Structure 1
Amino acid sequence: MLELLSPAGSMEAVAAAVQNGADAVYLGYGDFNARRNAKNFSREEFAAAVSYCHLRGAKVYLTLNTLLTDRELPEAAKYAADASAIGADAVLVQDLGVLRMLRQVSPDLPLHASTQMTLHNLDGVKQAADLGLQRAVLARELSRDQIAYICERSPIEIEVFAHGALCMCYSGQCFLSSVIGGRSGNRGLCAQPCRLKYGWAERADAYPLSLKDLSLAGHLQELRKMGVACVKLEGRMKRPEYVAIVTGIYAAAIRENREPTAEELAQLEAAFSRQGFTQGYYLDRQGPEMFGVREEAGKEPRELFARARNTYQSGEAARVPVTFYALIRPGEPARVGVEDPQGRVATAEGSVPEAAHTRALDAPTVEKQLSRTGGTPYRCEKVRALVEPGLSLPLAALNALRREALDALSGQRCQPPPRRGGTYHAGARYENRKDPPVLTLSLRYAEQLTAELLSLSPALVYLPLDELCAHPDKAAGTPNTRIGVTLPRVAWDREWPQLLEQLRRARALGVEDALAGNLGMLSCVKELGFTLRGDFGLEVYNSQALKQLKRLGLRSAAVSFELKLAQIRDISKCMDIEMITYGRLPLMILENCIIQNRAGHCGCENPNVLTDRRGARFPVIQAPGCRNELLNSQKLFLADKAADYRRIGLWAQRLLFTTENPKECVQVTRRYLENDRWAPAEYTRGLYYRDVE
């Protein structure tokens, strides 16, 4: 049966989820999770939540799924060790450095790959399995045929989102909130700028980045048949009544092997929606009908919410089936035992029964008394009573034995599992490089790679894989400059035959370096003999992540552009690192083509610019696979700050060329080689000099 995983932003939401049938809840303990604005639990609250859930047969998953700095890892290690000792059933992670830390402090604690890891193909799931993760939460953009393909071949459990808010960008790859507002979605503080107005002309008059909420109600049986292990409900920021309604509807449908009724679907929409729901990604039918906004935000379905509150504020759902045993024999203390579905047994012993003077105790009477479990989390499924004739025992004594046995069973159910513990060690510290960084370039189009650009002798030039294969003459390079390929950050399994063919062609052309920005791209690149280099999509935020990537065979890695220069300086660099020092930073990668949504047809060959409410203009360009990439309105420019980034231990500084023409690429490169005085009319320093929340 599908596991149903519900959100819990408060203790009340925990009760709402569990009393309405959730098999597990996910919640935050401490400040290191992807919903830091939700009410995160104190230690006492977290322990209470774990006990509450375990008593009632539900699991608790801790969200530790944000990027952490080296300075934050020791504190996160304390939270993780605490959560493991309290009895958390698993931890969701994004950061490879956090994963490495968790293996030190709690090697027996199960780990799940958060959707923030951007796992969207089979190789990515296999890589997660190799890293020791027991479950992967797939990207919400995947269609049902791709989910089925992965489920059929995955070595670990697969979890999919079934209901709730959809991010416009692939989770874990969105930098819009951090770059324009200093609040990072990868750090748990997304300000949701995608829900604001934007426009294609000079006016921001529409909502081209605001997707409707997802709802896979109606496809639950299909997901079960695919082999999906768990369906997840989104909503840790939402109120407990919402959690109760959505959990109850999904739980009933799963338990009864059916889909939600029309009435239940109406209740889901009343609880929360953005002009209805969408199944566009799942059905592989993208388009403008997938978009919507929240209407009448102040209107509350009071009657529906009142009924929902009643489900978790009035009594127990009696979720746990138990079997009672009773032994009533002369000359021996009366004994009652109780057994739960996991085989735990608790017993209680009472007074010795007396000889009956009037009516003797019989088995049906014992069974009736023991089955009265009202007001507890338990449901009596069976009673096996051996009652010898001619004996008397007060019914109050039987009731006391039942309560004592259930209390003892509850104590067992709330006991945390035995687990090994450990201490977090940052490990050996590597000295920073003293020599200045070499210059590398990322190009978007083959036409940007000119003889004039190569004459400036950058150490390495990356071309998109598809561009290089379309222009094989560009693979030659020079004695001073190697040509490498950039792999797509997103490539579904159905795109892999073409991807692998292109990689083989590039290798045959003599290309040796491959830049990969997703875990799902690493193994194939290594197997084909490329030198593996990590792109910004791998989200290197700390020294432990670098160590993990080195173990995976990477030669170099780009650090996150959400880090400050001082934080990059302080990273212990066990391998070469790159830093982006110029270009329009990529803010979003979109599965839904907003260019086609606007025009009704493909238009990637033309300039496309999205305008926000303040008049800032964000270019939208094509990404591999007919996807879109939203770029920053201003170019990152640091050529006049070379003294700052040259002393932080970089192997390379990278110039990121996207919308620039060939002449501009040469001009910018000369400026960074200090052979020019050029500067853009408008520019940003990015996040390298300011704190990101």
Structure 2
Amino acid sequence: MHLDSGRSLEILAPAGDWNALRAAVAAGADAVYFGLQDLNARRRARNFTLEEARRAVDFLHSHGRRAYLTVNTDISYRELGLAIAVLRQAAEIGVDAILVRDPALLAFRKAFPQLEFHFSTQTCMANSADVAAAAELGATRVVLARELSLEEIRRIAQHSPIDLEVFGQGALCFSVSGRCLMSSWVGGRSGNRGLCASPCRVPWSVDGQEVGHPLSMHDLCALEHIVQLHESGVRAVKIEGRLKTADWVARAVGIYRRALAGDSIDELKSEARSLTNYTGRELTDGYLISERTNLTGSNRGRLGRDEMSGEAGDAVADDVAEVLPEGEETAAFPAERKGFEFILGTANKRIECQLRWHGTDVTWEYPKTVVRRVHKAVTAGELCQMVQDRYFQGCAADHVETDDPEFLLVPRTVNAILDRISAEIGRIRRAEKKPIEIDFPEGGSLTASDLQPATTNVRALGDMPNRVRIGIGQLEDFVSRVQPVHLIVEGAGPEDVTTIVQVCRKHVPVVALPPVCFEDDLPQMQELVERCRKARLAVEVNSWGGWWLARRAGIGFEAGPGLGVLNPLAAAFLRKLGARSVTISVEADRRQIEDICAYAPVALSLYVMGRPPLAISRAELPEEFLGRVFADRRDLRMRPAREWGLWVFRPLTPFDWRRLRNDRIRVKHLVVDLVGSPDPVGEWLGLTTRSRPFTFNYFRTLQ
């Protein structure tokens, strides 16, 4: 069936590198999305330098295609300068839209009217209230959550004031996007920062019995529903795959292009199955047809890269050969910047690095490593370009050089060098007590004057916690056994509001709204907000839809962990939206927390102990798994339960910072999260504290 009613359905293709971008255009993609080396949710892809991004936009526009740049991660304070520079560069080179997650970027939307702002799937757009919130905040498109059914998409589209985009092909995450902490929990590599280590794909045991890969999702294929998606009002179908080869991208785009042209879906599905050969995963359309069982299964192992039939050039037609501008080289950053020098030496027996900044000269070395996978290696010249195109702790390079641009480096050495540059810049900055300068664009809703620390943040890390997060089922027992304490009540429904008021008496609690809410549950969340308003209870909003409902109801609200921030600018923006307090991201490391506390102009909440949800999933696992202990080979141990009608996995062992002392971390609320605790009273009183508590990312550097 041809799609000829209304606007055409956009095929949006991924590009992890130049080859993939050219292949996508050759295969018929209407638009391509890609990222830079930093601040995008696929940082393990080859990605683009700022200069390459300029050329990519020119190339796409010369062929009548649109260019979307991904800036869809949580952003730390020390990355804000880079984030603003990326927005400026995107506007200058003609990027059509940027995909965002961090609230800090929304503060600059009006400063860049030539850019469309799209809400990434990382923002968890799961219902019509979420979409309405995005529209109110200035977005022109949202990427809907991948867990929605066709009927839910149709209902959202009926009243959506902005464009909708859905995923059509590619990998699925076990957890709802933006709601997963598993990778961060086990090693500080955050999926919300673009470095997910895919712990859901590994083998698991349940209560000591090997059960295979129960958290490894099948791959999505929406071919059979392409007509229904278009008729429901969806504007774009997106192919996931910035880590895929150019050949894979070309074949995926070609399949969907032919589907729109009316080719046999059965034949195209057979071709689509070949796209999963390298993973060994099955295809599924389960979420789209409201079938949420049997969505996970074995991962038979990855095939080598060579299995993905050839180089990208094989799929590139002559009429879309790469046309690059000649002669001019546009600088990624202003020439007058005051930056550092970096020199990479390879002539001796070891790799030598030298960094000079503000009169400080630092040198360090790495052993030379045999390069066995040349296709994954990075040349010294490419590394120097990476250094030239990035900000490190808010500082850019003035001069970068190497004695051998063709010298090959293994990826782990490249990552180590980039991390070391950032660390050394940070050490020099701290030694000189030199503040990070942020060049705020004109026309944004926030300026430097908005980053003034709130006087209400007086409680230091190490002081007695003054708040408890408790589940509705734990509430009465806890309150009856513990001296009055300020509570956040999680998991409550509208029918629980009267009980909460009666049990808590004079200590007025805050009622938490869920972090994920699908369309059928939206009326219940709306009713919960209304009953809290009548009872004069504030709510904690954990999604953009929750914020929208609270704002419409005129009720006092706080921004909870579901809208946790990693920089003070995001906190300032949430304050402008009406939040009376803002929660620091539970993933944040010590230095990031210190930066937020130094500049946030709003009351802050910091979780100092708890078992946060490591994964929130709509996939249905066998009922006998509920309450059992899941463990992987790294001894990550977690237990699933049903919360908010979803499968929620929490760790057995909490993180605990109550013994730590840091006077540079000052907030209004130090919160202990007892949801999921087997002994809430004992843990609150410190009776069940472990001798060597787990400190999560506090002493790590969050990647």
TM-score range, shorter chain: 0.7 to 0.9
**How far apart in 2 are the matches of 1:43 and 1:553?**
36
**How far apart in 2 are the matches of 1:132 and 1:635?**
38
State which of 422, 428, 434 in structure 1 corresponds to 2:450.
428
State which of 560, 577, 593 in structure 1 corresponds to 2:604.
577
Pairing 1:73–2:80 present: yes
Pairing 1:276–2:282 present: yes
The residue number in structure 1 matching 2:389 is none
Q: Deviations over 1:477-536 (max 9, x none)?
A: 55652222111111112112233334444444x251211210011122233343211111
The residue number in structure 2 matching 1:352 is none
The residue number in structure 2 matching 1:375 is none
The residue number in structure 2 matching 1:212 is 218
The residue number in structure 2 matching 1:387 is none
Closer, same or farther: CA 453–33 of 1 in aligned 2, 3 Å: farther
The residue number in structure 1 matching 2:701 is 691
* 107-116 vs 445-454, which moves further: 445-454
Q: Secondary structure at the match of 2:609?
A: strand
**How far apart in 1 are the matches of 2:264 and 2:485?**
59
The residue number in structure 2 matching 1:592 is 619
Closer, same or farther: CA 259–486 of 1 in aligned 2, 3 Å: farther
How far is 1:658 from its partner? Answer: 2.1
State which of 467, 491, 495 in structure 2 corresponds to 1:440.
467
How far is 1:114 from its partner? Answer: 0.4
State which of 14, 18, 42 in structure 1 corresponds to 2:21.
14
**How far apart in 1 are the matches of 2:43 and 2:478?**
50
Q: CA RMSD in A?
A: 2.5
Closer, same or farther: CA 686–554 of 1 in aligned 2, 3 Å: same
State which of 676, 679, 682 in structure 1 corresponds to 2:689.
679
Contact 1:461 1:481 in 2 (8 A): no
The residue number in structure 2 matching 1:332 is none
* 82-91 vs 285-294, which moves further: 285-294
Q: Secondary structure at the match of 1:462?
A: strand
Pairing 1:175–2:181 present: yes
How far is 1:454 from its partner? Answer: 6.7
Pairing 1:2–2:9 present: yes
Pairing 1:228–2:238 present: no
**How far apart in 1 are the matches of 2:633 and 2:91?**
46
Closer, same or farther: CA 64–56 of 1 in aligned 2, 3 Å: same
Contact 1:454 1:478 in 2 (8 A): no
State which of 570, 575, 584 in structure 2 corresponds to 1:550.
575
**How far apart in 2 are the matches of 1:59 and 1:692?**
33
Report 1:624-639 matches (<5 A): 624=644, 626-639=645-658
**One-letter code aligned to 1:611:** A
TM-score (norm 1): 0.77
Q: Secondary structure at the match of 2:684?
A: helix
Pairing 1:669–2:679 present: no
Q: Deviations over 1:440-463 (max 9, x none)?
A: 111124334336557422123324
Q: Secondary structure at the match of 2:517?
A: coil
State which of 38, 49, 56 in structure 2 corresponds to 1:31.
38
Contact 1:439 1:653 in 2 (8 A): yes
**How far apart in 2 are the matches of 1:451 and 1:286?**
35
Closer, same or farther: CA 126–579 of 1 in aligned 2, 3 Å: same
The residue number in structure 2 matching 1:266 is 270
How far is 1:102 from its partner? Answer: 4.8
**How far apart in 2 are the matches of 1:692 and 1:453?**
39
Q: Secondary structure at the match of 2:125?
A: coil
The residue number in structure 1 matching 2:259 is 253
Closer, same or farther: CA 680–142 of 1 in aligned 2, 3 Å: same
Q: Secondary structure at the match of 1:124?
A: helix
**One-letter code aligned to 2:633:** R
Pairing 1:613–2:633 present: yes
Closer, same or farther: CA 260–103 of 1 in aligned 2, 3 Å: farther
**How far apart in 1 are the matches of 2:125 and 2:552?**
20
Q: Deviations over 1:140-179 (max 9, x none)?
A: 0011111011111100000000000001111111111011
**One-letter code aligned to 1:68:** I
The residue number in structure 2 matching 1:377 is none
The residue number in structure 2 matching 1:488 is 514
**How far apart in 1 are the matches of 2:692 and 2:215?**
25
The residue number in structure 2 matching 1:523 is 548
Contact 1:177 1:183 in 2 (8 A): yes
Report 1:94-113 matches (<5 A): 94-104=101-111, 106-113=112-119
The residue number in structure 1 matching 2:477 is 450
* 112-121 vs 649-658, which moves further: 649-658
Contact 1:151 1:228 in 2 (8 A): yes
How far is 1:292 from its partner? Answer: 4.3
Q: Deviations over 1:37-65 (max 9, x none)?
A: 11121233212211111111111100110
Q: Secondary structure at the match of 2:700?
A: coil
**How far apart in 2 are the matches of 1:452 and 1:126?**
37
How far is 1:623 from its partner? Answer: 1.2
How far is 1:471 from its partner? Answer: 7.7
Contact 1:194 1:209 in 2 (8 A): yes
Closer, same or farther: CA 305–515 of 1 in aligned 2, 3 Å: same
How far is 1:551 from its partner? Answer: 2.0
Contact 1:62 1:88 in 2 (8 A): yes
Closer, same or farther: CA 260–458 of 1 in aligned 2, 3 Å: farther
How far is 1:678 from its partner? Answer: 4.9
Pairing 1:315–2:318 present: yes
Closer, same or farther: CA 186–201 of 1 in aligned 2, 3 Å: same
**How far apart in 2 are the matches of 1:71 and 1:588?**
28
**One-letter code aligned to 2:318:** G
How far is 1:565 from its partner? Answer: 2.9
**How far apart in 1 are the matches of 2:109 and 2:523?**
36
Report 1:81-92 matches (<5 A): 81-92=88-99
Contact 1:446 1:474 in 2 (8 A): no
Pairing 1:652–2:669 present: yes
**One-letter code aligned to 1:577:** L
**How far apart in 2 are the matches of 1:651 and 1:260?**
61
How far is 1:230 from its partner? Answer: 0.4
Q: Secondary structure at the match of 1:533?
A: strand
**How far apart in 1 are the matches of 2:504 and 2:272?**
61
**How far apart in 1 are the matches of 2:304 and 2:549?**
51
**One-letter code aligned to 1:55:** S
**How far apart in 2 are the matches of 1:659 and 1:549?**
28
**How far apart in 2 are the matches of 1:292 and 1:260?**
29
Contact 1:220 1:259 in 2 (8 A): no
Aligned length: 568
**How far apart in 2 are the matches of 1:668 and 1:679?**
7
Q: Secondary structure at the match of 1:61?
A: strand
The residue number in structure 2 matching 1:374 is none
TM-score (norm 2): 0.76
**How far apart in 1 are the matches of 2:40 and 2:561?**
21
How far is 1:286 from its partner? Answer: 0.9
**How far apart in 1 are the matches of 2:649 and 2:563?**
18
Contact 2:127 2:519 in 1 (8 A): yes
**One-letter code aligned to 1:436:** R
How far is 1:594 from its partner? Answer: 2.5
- What residue ranges of structure 2 are gaps of 5+ in the alignment? 1-7, 322-440
How far is 1:422 from its partner? Answer: 6.8
**One-letter code aligned to 2:697:** L
